[in-house]
Amino acid sequence: MPAGRPLPSAGQGTPGPCLLAALMGVTLWAAGQAATVPSGSTESFHEEALFKPLANGQVLVHFRFTTLKADPGQDAAGRHFRLFPRSMAELMAAHDLRELDLSLSRGVWREAAMGYHPRLWGSPPGARVQAWFEPESPPAPDHVVQADSVARRWDRLTNALSGQLCASLNFFDATSTLCPRFSFQPAGISPLDHPWENNASAHFQLGYLPRENVCTENLTPWKKLLPCQSKRGLASLLHAAPIHRTNHHSLGLSLRHVCPSGVAHCSHPLLELVQDVTLVFRPHQMPENARDDSASAWSIRSLFGIGLTSACPMAESSQLLFDVTDDLYHLQWPEGVPDRVYEADGRRVRAVHLDHLLERGSSNVIANYRQPVIYGLIPAPRLHAHRYVVGHGQAQGGIVTKITNRHSEPLAVVFLDVIPWYLRTYFHTLRIQTDQGMTIRPHRVDFSPARDRDRPYVLEVVLTLPPQSVSQISIDFEKSILKWLEYPPDANHGFYVSSALITAVLPDRRNFTHIGRYYSTYDQWLESFSITSSNASTAEPRSDRVVRIFTESLLINLPTPDFSMPYNVICLACTVVALAFGPLHNITTKDLRLDVGPEPEGIVQRVKAKVTGILGRSQPLSPPTPAETDPTLEERQ
């Protein structure tokens, strides 16, 4: 494949008639498509990296690799894969998947210091998978969904994903899966003739594995889904060592249907695969800045250890975006590299094409701060949350979530909490109140109690936070004792409780990093502001202002038995039972009798007694019964 723009040809080795049919299909189809898909191609690939300094001196780098493809429907062109990973499309087809979102991350994303997560769906610690399944086609007349079949499809899906990403996603069972009613809606476009709205949550499955570790073995198969893998382009920066040195990193993968130009309805939706990596670096701890405490300059080379050497020839666009809103630093690259400045979404973003940069022989971009970074004054987002465990000891406890709303108007939020079955959660202890002790009456409370080893506790609350308030949602639990073989190898490490989720529609997009709901790339999103600049700030649709905040995941200690003693415990408990059984057996089966004197003395006599006993002539030597000796007894009997 020559470098530069990809050729609009079908793959090699395709038989002639098929090729012709594919080309015809492509041409016909492309005629009706919008501008983002270049004519003659049904697929396109975009790679972007956003560099954003955070208020606490850290640097956020968000890679976004977008692959778009015409919906692989019935026509041959749709089933031909050039850039789009075939395994993902087959995954969707095999499991009747409508949408999929998956994140694997390590480290807490702290909204208060970092703003909102650049992923639309956020990224809680550990693994999270959510999937919308297609309703059965044709849809049943009464829209009754076979929940069972959704659960079965989910089971197959997670097993397939587990193999695809080398993650333990096959551990998603009923105890870690839920389908909340209010917190989620499809991210992409959804066909209007499907009953999404009525019974949507029945098609939805969400699973958390807060203990899942993210490591290089997940990164490698993830990179293989990219057209250039990690050989060329922005993905060549993604080496394991610098990634795992970060404060927070998350790998994401999401599949959905979108319209070509960021609108909600269209006749020919595209299939979109977004692979993203979110990294948070600490530049002031880098060796380059070690000499000076206040120095926090960073460059691509210092962050990733290597520079950019080549662009991905498959990529339609390959852009580096720098958030320069606060004008804290100036960017160094060779003279004459053309760049664009977007004033959009309340931010200033400088964009430069990787091609242009490489043409000028530069493989690096250096950011030098104009003045030392001053910490301490971090303007926290107006909505953020914290969650923690209260109580002490290994018998009881509680979970408290504090949600801060610094808006001057009341804000409706949906709170979703999943508590594993072994924390026996008491619904009647649910308290929702402000810091001043004022009770908040929720609009809706959905609680589904757990069943042991079967399903978790799910609490979903729709409530309105008062303006300028800190609200607190607390619930108490009892810790249960598991069977000794159910404890993980390091039982005293504790058990993870997955993050709670707070979903809200904010009045503005302040602190947002993620792009609008119906857009595929940053480029598209930022361009949309310049096109409709006259009313850009006022016309943000509701769906673009949705924010999802994942709180900290929790680690809770359960009481443990002594793992070394099963035999002793079984023996001792049985002994106590025998202590009752023996005497009661004696008491109920025997009578009190008078026993006169001991057995005959002397060896000879004893042997003789034994022999006669064996011979069955025990009569003369056996002790006399009370009846024989006591005349009074004889009378009674």
Partner 1 sequence: MSATSLMIPYWLGIALRIYFSSSSASTGLASPDAFNPAQRVEIATPLNAYHRLTEGVALFNQGLDPYSGVLCHEPPLFLKLGQWVQGRRAWAKKIPAFFIMFDLLTAALVGLLARLVVQRLLQRQNEESDSYHKDAAELLLEQTALDSVDFTAQLSYLFNPFLILSSAGQTTTVFDNFFLALFLVAMLKKNRIGACLFLALAVYKSFYPIMLLVPLMVMFMEGSKKSWRQELTTNVLPTLVIFCGFLVGLLWMSYMIMGRNPSFLWATYGFILSVPELTPNMGLFWYFFTEMFEHFRVFFVCTFQINAFIYVIPLAIKLRHDPFLLAFTLIGLTAIFKSYPSYGDVGFYLALLPILSHLFPYTKQLFVVAVMLTVTTVLGPILYHLWIYNGSANANYFFAINLVFGTAQIFLLTDLLFAYLKREFYLINGYKILNQVNESTQKPHARIVLT
Binding site for partner 1 (CB under 8 A): 390-398, 421, 424, 426-429, 445, 447-452, 474, 476-478, 480-485, 559-562, 565-566, 569-570, 572-573, 576-577, 579-581, 583-598, 626, 629-630, 632-633, 636
CB of 180 to partner 1, least distance (A): 16
The length of the chain, given as a count of residues: 637
Q: How far is the CB of 416 from partner 1 (least distance, A)?
A: 17
Are 325 and 347 a contacting pair, CB within 8 Å?
Answer: yes
Q: How far is the CB of 552 from partner 1 (least distance, A)?
A: 18
Q: Which is nearer to partner 1, 50 or 482 (CB)?
A: 482
Question: Is the separation of the CB atoms in 477 and 424 below 8 Å?
Answer: yes
d(CA 462, CA 197) in angstroms, rounded, equals: 17
Alpha carbon distance 188, 272 (integer Å): 9
Residue 212 or 476: the one with the smaller Cβ distance to partner 1 is: 476
* CA-wise closest residue to 79 among 67, 68, 66, 69: 69
CB 636, min distance to partner 1, A = 6
Q: Could you give the CA distance from residue 542 to residue 507 in angstroms, rounded to a whole number?
A: 9
Complex with partner 1: residue 287 or 598, whichever CB lies closer: 598
Q: Which is nearer to partner 1, 19 or 491 (CB)?
A: 491
Smallest distance from the beta carbon of 435 to partner 1, in angstroms?
17
DSSP H stretches of helix in 200-334: 216-223, 240-244, 300-304
Smallest distance, partner 1 to C-beta of residue 633, A? 6
Could you tell me the smallest distance in angstroms from the CB atom of residue 631 to partner 1? 10
CA distances, 213 to each of 125, 173, 434 (Å): 9, 18, 36
SS3 108: coil
Q: How many other C-beta atoms can be found within 10 angstroms of the C-beta atom of residue 4? A: 9
Smallest distance from the beta carbon of 88 to partner 1, in angstroms? 38
The structure tokens listed for 188 are: 């992409």
Quote the least distance from Cβ 554 to partner 1, whole Å.
14
Contacts of 346 (CB under 8 A, 6+ apart): 325, 508, 509, 510, 537
User: Taking a C-beta distance cutoff of 8 angstroms, is the pair 132, 188 a contact?
Assistant: no
DSSP letters, 415-468, are: EEEEE-TTEEEEEEEEEEEETTSPBPPPSEEEEE--BTTTB-EEEEEEEEEPTT
Residue 12 or 588 having the CB closest to partner 1? 588
What one-character-per-residue DSSP string does 56-102 give? TS-EEEEEEEEEEEE---SSTGGG--SSS-HHHHHHHHHTTEEEEEE
129 sits in which H/E element: strand 126-133
Nearer CB in complex with partner 1: 231/451: 451
Compare residues 144 and 587 and give the one whose CB is closer to partner 1.
Answer: 587
- Of the pair 34, 570, the CB lying nearest partner 1 is at 570
**Calpha distance 196→52 (Å, rounded):** 36
Quote the least distance from Cβ 458 to partner 1, whole Å.
11
The helix (run of H) or strand (run of E) holding residue 148 is helix 147-165
Q: Which is nearer to partner 1, 285 or 433 (CB)?
A: 433
The DSSP call for residue 309 is -
- The DSSP bridge partners found for residue 400 are 388, 474
CB of 587 to partner 1, least distance (A): 5
Residue 159 vs 568, nearer CB to partner 1: 568
Is the backbone peptide bond immediately before 124 cis, with ω within 30 degrees of 0? no
Distance (Å, whole) CA 386 – CA 470: 11
Nearest to 373 by CA among 31, 39, 55, 48: 55
Least separation in angstroms between CB 192 and partner 1? 32
CA-angle at 376, arms to 373 and 378, nearest 5°: 90
> What tokens appear for 285 in the block?
């701890």
**CB nearer to partner 1: pick between 132 and 421:** 421
Is the CB of 31 or the CB of 577 nearer to partner 1?
577
We find the least distance from the C-beta atom of residue 462 to partner 1, in angstroms, to be: 15
Residue with token string 């089971």: 155
Nearest to partner 1 of 150, 482 (CB atom): 482
